[in-house]
């Protein structure tokens, strides 16, 4: 079993839809959870990160962690064509190391069409 699993999609939604992106993880010791967005031909850009359980909101984006289920989610409200990108969940500390080694999910390719 991979330490971080993410449905690669692709996911195609109409403009204005609510998008839900999800990852599962295997190690209950993980504390920090991150979401990166990667546009085509660009590097990953940090969107949000959360610590432990709960929700964190930033504009149209909400990150949610359910440690009991080992499940993390990113919700995008009122999705826009400019949100079309690959979304990667990432967890530091996987693989037995501390800082530096981010273990990424496979990435979900999202297309928001007008």
Partner 1 sequence: DTEVTQTPKHLVMGMTNKKSLKCEQHMGHRAMYWYKQKAKKPPELMFVYSYEKLSINESVPSRFSPECPNSSLLNLHLHALQPEDSALYLCASSQVRVFSPLHFGNGTRLTVT
Which of 44, 64, 65, 83 contacts partner 1 by CB under 8 A?
A: 44
Smallest distance, partner 1 to C-beta of residue 96, A: 11
Using the rule CB under 8 A, is 101 a contact of partner 1? yes
Q: Which DSSP symbol is given to 3?
A: S
Pick out residues in 21-40 that bind partner 1 (CB under 8 A).
Answer: 31-32, 34, 36
Cβ atoms of residues 35 and 49 within 8 Å? yes
Smallest distance, partner 1 to C-beta of residue 64, A: 18
Using the rule CB under 8 A, is 99 a contact of partner 1? yes
Provide the CB-side half-sphere exposure for 58 (13 A, CA): 10
CB within 8 A of 81, min separation 6: which ones? Answer: 15, 112, 113, 114
Phi/psi-derived region of residue 95, left when phi > 0, alpha when psi is between -120 and 50, beta in every other case: left
Interface ranges with partner 1 (CB under 8 A): 8, 31-32, 34, 36, 41-46, 49, 51, 88, 92-93, 97-102, 104-107, 109
């Amino acid at each position: 079993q991979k330490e971080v699993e993410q449905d690669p999609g692709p996911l195609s939604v109409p403009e204005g839809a609510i998008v839900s992106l999800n990852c599962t993880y295997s190690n209950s010791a993980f504390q920090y959870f991150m979401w990166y967005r990667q546009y085509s031909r660009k590097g990953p850009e940090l969107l949000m990160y959360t610590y432990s359980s709960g929700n964190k909101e930033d504009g149209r984006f909400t990150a949610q962690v359910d440690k009991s289920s080992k499940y993390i989610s990113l919700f995008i409200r009122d999705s826009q064509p400019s949100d079309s990108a690959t979304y990667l969940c990432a967890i530091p500390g996987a693989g037995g190391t501390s800082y530096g080694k981010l273990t990424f999910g496979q990435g979900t390719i999202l297309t928001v069409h007008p």
